[in-house]
């Protein structure tokens, strides 16, 4: 039975549970569209894949940069090579010119010195030609022509030198004019052609490398931008795949903690988070089943108690009825001893009946079978009714019984009989546990509320016990219970009645200084409060 200390609190949450589970389903159906969660891979694989992709992007940016650099380097080399070519060509032109000068000088001053200079110049051509053929391998046709022309030029120069040495200066001069001049012109034309071509190549090369530079600049920028966008998209996808489900699960667990067992979390992930959500759902399901069986057990218990107390009361009614008739002398005047015994039967029987009725009340309240019957009532009449029914109890124990109700209270609205029952229980308790002094019943109007207080001069209740006394079957001190009797149901019933009126009950007490039980309810209750 102690499994369900407060079954009404479960019952109260049902509509909330239904509403929130619908909300969860709606929210989940919106999330279905995201791509990430549907991926059938573990969380680790997903993260690894994302990082790999980002790494690949970084590598590709690096590779593209390196390739661009290499291309730029190649272009530079080409330009340098062209410059070398041009230099070589120029050198050749220069040497040709010097050869012409050398030959002229030899003709003017035909001595060995000038002749040696002219001949040395010829050797220079070999070197020049080697250099040109090295830097301008691609210009095969022009190079061959150049070689042939130079061979002829050298041959002519050699011939002239020989003529000079032989003293045939006139023939030499003739040969210089007729052959060497035109050959030199031709050579110059050829080398000029080479230079022009190389210069054109250089200009084109610089142009191309400029274009390549701006192209690779664009390419690197584009790839970097694309990587940035892709990384963002990837990050977003991962967060969708991880953070959203975590949020959903967190939300679900919060609901679970609040007692909503009917909800189901919808996480579409095929990874650890999906498994986690499935676990949460199966836990929910188990809790829900457990809750249902508890609810059913509670219902059975209430039904059992209701039936049982009815069955118990029937024979008790007969016991009370017959003993009353005997006391009234219907079967002949009883002796003094017999009367005393009959009175004990009556007293104990009524006590037992009170206990059974309390159990029935509580089980009916817990099963939600009790409805307040709301009507207008007079507070003064309510209190005087309670006063009348407890007067004799107080008088038996020589206790003072005082009442303080403000005059002229307007008609209140509520269930008068239940409120009388609540006050009767409180005052009955106060009288039961007080051995000397007085019990005071007080009513105060506080705005739209009425506050009822029952004050006694009894032993008082320790603070740790104050919270417990409103629970079923709880009494402060078992030794007192043995003397005073009672099953500890009275205050639980009072609490329920007050709560059904939308009010609250509390206690102010100190050991040795008595206790004051107070409850506050709406002065005019138009609708029964839903139980929480």
Partner 1 sequence: MSKRVLVVEDQEDNRQILRDLLANVGYEMIEAHNGEEALIAARTQSPDLILMDIQLPVLDGYEATRRIKAQADLRHIPIIVVTSYALSGDEEKARAAGCDAYVAKPYSARKLLETINRYLTVP
List residues binding partner 1 (CB under 8 A). Answer: 310, 313-318, 320-322, 324-325, 328, 330-331, 353, 357, 360-361, 364, 370-371, 373, 417-418, 421
Report d(CA 213, CA 205) in Å as an integer: 12
Closer to partner 1 by Cβ: residue 14 or 417: 417
Report d(CA 135, CA 6) in Å as an integer: 103
Phi and psi, residue 402, nearest 5°: -120, 145
Give the shortest CB-307-to-partner 1 separation in angstroms: 12
Closer to partner 1 by Cβ: residue 198 or 525: 525
Q: At what angle do helices 416-433 and 379-396 cross, to 10 degrees?
A: 30
Contacts with 77 (C-beta within 8 Å, 6 or more apart), sequence order: none
Contacts with 114 (C-beta within 8 Å, 6 or more apart), sequence order: 102, 105, 106, 108
Q: Residue 194 in contact with residue 139, Cβ under 8 Å?
A: yes
Report d(CA 298, CA 288) in Å as an integer: 15
Give the shortest CB-529-to-partner 1 separation in angstroms: 18
Give the shortest CB-369-to-partner 1 separation in angstroms: 9
Closer to partner 1 by Cβ: residue 130 or 343: 343
Give the shortest CB-326-to-partner 1 separation in angstroms: 10
Closer to partner 1 by Cβ: residue 10 or 322: 322
3-state secondary structure 213-260: HHHHHHHHHHHHHHHHHHHHHHHHHHHHHHHHHHHHHHHHHHHHHCCC
Q: Which of 303, 100, 283, 71 is nearest to 186 (CA)?
A: 100
Contacts with 105 (C-beta within 8 Å, 6 or more apart), sequence order: 114, 117, 118
Closer to partner 1 by Cβ: residue 45 or 307: 307
Give the shortest CB-310-to-partner 1 separation in angstroms: 7
Closer to partner 1 by Cβ: residue 263 or 302: 302
Report strand pairing: 438-446 vs 400-404.
parallel
Closer to partner 1 by Cβ: residue 111 or 343: 343
Token look-up 């207080």 returns: 453
Give the shortest CB-368-to-partner 1 separation in angstroms: 13
What sign results for the dihedral spanned by CA atoms 125, 130, 136, 141?
Answer: positive
Give the shortest CB-471-to-partner 1 separation in angstroms: 20
Give the shortest CB-393-to-partner 1 separation in angstroms: 17
Give the shortest CB-458-to-partner 1 separation in angstroms: 27
Using only the alpha carbons of the chain, give its radius of gyration. 59
Closer to partner 1 by Cβ: residue 330 or 404: 330
Phi and psi, residue 450, nearest 5°: -115, 135
Give the shortest CB-494-to-partner 1 separation in angstroms: 13
Give the shortest CB-499-to-partner 1 separation in angstroms: 16
Give the shortest CB-351-to-partner 1 separation in angstroms: 12
Closer to partner 1 by Cβ: residue 315 or 447: 315
Report d(CA 309, CA 307) in Å as an integer: 6
Closer to partner 1 by Cβ: residue 314 or 398: 314
Q: Which of 370, 354, 355 is nearest to 497 (CA)?
A: 370
Closer to partner 1 by Cβ: residue 100 or 420: 420
3-state secondary structure 446-468: ECCEEEEEEEECCCCCCHHHHCH
Closer to partner 1 by Cβ: residue 315 or 464: 315
Phi and psi, residue 451, nearest 5°: -115, 120
One-character DSSP codes across 275-326:
HHHHHHHHHHHHHHHHHHHHHHHHHHHHHHHHHHHHHHHHHHHHHHHHHHHH
């Amino acid at each position: 039975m102690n499994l369900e200390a407060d079954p009404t609190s479960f019952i109260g949450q049902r509509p909330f549970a239904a509403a929130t589970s619908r909300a969860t389903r709606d929210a989940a159906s919106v999330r279905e569209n995201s791509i990430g969660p549907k991926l059938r891979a573990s969380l680790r694989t997903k993260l690894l894949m994302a990082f790999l992709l980002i790494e690949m992007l970084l590598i590709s940016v690096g590779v593209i940069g390196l390739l661009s650099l290499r291309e730029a380097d190649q272009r530079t080399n080409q330009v340098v090579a062209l410059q070398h070519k041009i230099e070589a060509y120029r050198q050749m032109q220069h040497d040709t010119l010097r050869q012409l000068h050398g030959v002229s000088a030899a003709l003017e001053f035909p001595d060995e010195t000038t002749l040696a200079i002219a001949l040395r110049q010829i050797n220079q051509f070999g070197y020049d030609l080697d250099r040109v053929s090295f830097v301008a391998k691609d210009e095969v046709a022009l190079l061959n022509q150049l070689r042939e022309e130079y061979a002829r030029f050298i041959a002519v120069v050699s011939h002239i030198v020989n003529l000079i040495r032989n003293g045939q200066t006139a023939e030499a001069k003739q040969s210089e004019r007729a052959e060497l001049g035109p050959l030199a012109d031709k050579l110059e034309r050829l080398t000029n052609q080479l230079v022009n071509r190389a210069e054109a190549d250089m200009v084109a090369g610089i142009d191309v490398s400029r274009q390549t530079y701006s192209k690779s600049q664009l390419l690197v920028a584009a790839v970097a931008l694309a990587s940035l966008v892709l990384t963002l998209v990837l990050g977003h996808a991962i967060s969708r795949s991880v953070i959203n489900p975590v949020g959903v699960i967190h939300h679900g667990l919060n609901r679970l903690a609040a007692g909503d067992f009917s909800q189901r979390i919808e996480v579409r992930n095929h990874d650890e988070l999906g498994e986690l959500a499935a676990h949460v759902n199966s836990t929910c399901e188990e809790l829900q089943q457990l809750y249902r069986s508890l609810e059913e057990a509670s219902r059975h218990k209430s039904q059992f108690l209701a039936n049982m107390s009815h069955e118990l009361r029937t024979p008790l009614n007969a016991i009370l009825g017959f003993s009353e008739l005997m006391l009234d002398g219907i079967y002949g005047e009883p002796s003094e001893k017999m009367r005393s015994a009959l009175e004990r039967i009556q007293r104990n029987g009524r006590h037992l009946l009170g206990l059974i009725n309390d159990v029935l009340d509580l089980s009916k309240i817990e099963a939600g079978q009790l409805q307040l019957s709301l009507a207008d009532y007079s507070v003064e009449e309510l209190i005087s009714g309670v006063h009348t029914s407890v007067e004799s109890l107080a008088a038996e124990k020589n206790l003072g019984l005082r009442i303080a109700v403000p005059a002229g209270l307007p008609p209140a609205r509520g269930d008068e009989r239940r409120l009388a029952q609540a006050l009767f229980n409180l005052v009955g308790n106060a009288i039961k546990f007080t051995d000397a002094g007085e019990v005071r019943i007080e009513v105060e109007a506080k705005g739209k509320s009425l506050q009822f207080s029952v004050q006694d001069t009894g032993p008082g209740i320790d603070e740790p016990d104050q919270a417990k006394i409103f629970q079923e079957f709880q009494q402060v001190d078992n030794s007192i219970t043995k003397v005073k009797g009672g099953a500890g149901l009275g205050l639980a019933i009072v609490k329920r009645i007050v709560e059904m009126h939308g009010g609250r009950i509390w206690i102010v007490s100190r050991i040795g200084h008595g206790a004051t039980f107070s409850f506050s309810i709406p002065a005019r209750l138009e609708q029964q409060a839903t139980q929480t």
